[in-house]
Amino acid sequence: MTAMPTMAPPGLLTLGIEEEYLLLAKDRPEAAPVVEDVIDRVSPALRASVQHEYFRTQIEVAGPPVVDLAALWRSMSVLREGVADAAEAAGARLVAIGACPVGGPDSPVVDQPRYHRMEERFGALSPGHGLNGMHVHVGVADPELAVQVLNHIRPWLPVLHAVTANSPFYQGIDTGYASWRSVMWERWPSVGPTPHLESFAHYRHLLDDLIASGAVLDEGMLYWYGRVSATYPTVEIRIGDVCPTLDDAMLVAALVRALVGTAIADIGAGLPAPAIDQQLLTAAHWRAAHDGLEGLAVDLVNQRPRPAWHLLRRLFDLVRPQLEAHGDLEITTVLMSRLRSHGSGAARQRAAFAKNGRLDDVLDLVTAATRG
């Protein structure tokens, strides 16, 4: 995020997102380590919202926090288009995809002290060209409330994980997973479902112990799927791949905000957080990464597999009052219908590949989708 969250009207929550993208060479199917050149070419009006990621083949943008979903869509559209233009001027193209689907030499990390410390500490844990995700920030200023929210939303994050699946190909092959990025990402020691937390003091104690263990360098490396933001007064949800289109990204963002709002209402009503076994929750996230939206998902209420779309519909119905309260019900209904008709990013990539068996067609598809 690049700015402090704005104040929301009473009962409403601010919303912001961060997106990470892959930089590909414009004239050949391989990653392009040109992030410095791209950032230099970004217009001054957008520069504050664009930054490096871990590898030189990645770039990250952050939309300003807002209350109105349409305003977020507009700001992210300007960012995607502006950074895509800068990438093309640098001889590359901007691709909203979870992992690089083609081969080539590993990218060097960005020349920053923190990234060099990560590389020294964790070695070859994350080779390649980078793993690109989407993070959703929802304004919750009270850290004690934020921790309770994290407890309440845990059962539904695997469903949203499935919605974002957008990386079936890696190193030139179909991995058999809808989100191979998720599999690669979980090699880091601090990645995984957020544990049940007793309080914000418990949260801080766990974080301090993880830093002391050496498994993370600092608070920014706490890669739980839901966390209290290290920088801003927000709950930060960081479960899945970057979405190929802004339609998909806005749907996920709206559902996350409505889920947080639903949790806050339940907490205010004195309802306890659902009791979810951590191992089963981990299994549900694995299933989401494997099957994506087109397969099965784990129903954490009755511990049985169900079609992922069935659970997404249940989530939509659960958070409907909050979607309506934030003015998002009509647009999310439309976006749900569009997603149902064209499928997840992973499904779209596989359909493009199936036509001629060419990864170039996949790259062309996602490049066009990124611009919208």
Confidence (pLDDT) at 304: 87
Answer yes or no: is 8 within a domain: no
Number of domains in the chain: 1
6 is a domain residue: no
The answer to whether residue 265 is domain-embedded is: yes
CATH number for the domain that contains residue 338: 3.30.590.20
Q: In angstroms, rounded to a whole number, what is the distance separating the alpha carbons of residues 248 and 22? A: 18
Q: What is the value of pTM for the model shown?
A: 0.96
pLDDT at 6 over 70: no
- Report yes or no: 40 and 101 within 8 Å, Cβ to Cβ: no
pLDDT score of 7 more than 90: no
What is the mean predicted confidence (pLDDT) over 79-83?
Answer: 98
Residue 139 has pLDDT above 70, yes or no: yes
CB 366 within 8 A of CB 97: yes
Mean pLDDT of the chain: 94
Residue 10: inside a domain: no
pLDDT at 4: 46
Domain that holds residue 181: 15-123+131-371
Q: Can you tell me the mean pLDDT for 45-63? A: 95
Alpha-carbon Rg for the chain in angstroms:
19
* Domain presence at residue 79: yes
Residue 142 is assigned to a structural domain of this protein: yes
pLDDT at 92 over 90: yes
Alpha-carbon separation of residue 333 from 157, 308, 324, 330, 372 (angstroms): 19, 17, 11, 5, 20
pLDDT of residue 301: 83
3-class SS string, 150-200: HHHHHHHHHHHHHHCCCECEECCEECCCCEHHHHHHCCCCCCECCCCCCCH
In a domain, 9, yes or no: no
Structure-block tokens of residue 111 = 């020349």
pLDDT (tens digit per residue) in 253-311: 999 999 999 999 999 999 999 999 999 999 999 999 999 999 999 999 888 899 999 99
Instruction: Evaluate if residue 5 carries a pLDDT over 50.
Output: no
pLDDT of amino acid 105:
81
In angstroms, rounded to a whole number, what is the distance separating the alpha carbons of residues 241 and 219?
22
pLDDT reading at 125 higher than 90: no
Mean pLDDT value of segment 107-124: 89
Q: How confident is the model at residue 1 (pLDDT cuts 50, 70, 90)?
A: very low
